[in-house]
Amino acid sequence: MFAPYQELLSALAEEVGLEASALISSQEIVIDDLPISMKLEGEGEQAQLRLSCQLGIPSKARWTLAIRTMLQANHLWTGTGGATLGMLEHGMVSLSVRRLLSQLNADRLAVLLAKTAHIGLAWQDFIIQDQSIPVLPEFLHDARQVRV
């Protein structure tokens, strides 16, 4: 495992009160019952951290609306604040976020994870509970340097 990534996960674990070895081993954190996986992609200066979570499978009755709404949300990230909604095998909807590892520290990663959970849970409600989202969720945060 790339040392800076391992150091970041250790610092995050300390920041949020988790056991570092468990977080490094699982590379997953659960926020409000939403598992978010963390994966290092690339090496060196180009190394990126990818966060992803599975949100559910839309019902057949909801399929067209869900796909159309996700496409609208993905357009210039208007409803995802920089994250991307996608579809995996068997119709599972996922939410993914990528950031350069070099731009993250434990505080920024904690905020990024919290925002990912916030928007993931909103989309999960829309997708699996057939709840409407009158206004597409956005990430807003006072810290301008932390973009999701």
pTM flag (> 0.95): no
Per-residue pLDDT of the chain (148 residues; tens, 9 = 90+): 689 999 999 999 999 999 999 999 999 999 999 999 999 999 888 999 999 999 999 999 889 988 998 998 888 787 887 899 999 989 999 999 999 999 999 999 999 999 999 999 999 988 987 555 555 554 443 334 444 4
Report the DSSP pairing between strands 93-100 and 48-56: antiparallel
Question: Has residue 142 been placed in a domain?
Answer: no
Question: Has residue 135 been placed in a domain?
Answer: no
Distance CA(106)–CA(56), nearest Å, equals: 29
Number of domains in the chain: 1
Domain that holds residue 31: 3-128
Question: Has residue 44 been placed in a domain?
Answer: yes
The CATH number linked to 90 is 3.30.1460.10
Question: Has residue 140 been placed in a domain?
Answer: no
Distance CA(100)–CA(79), nearest Å, equals: 22
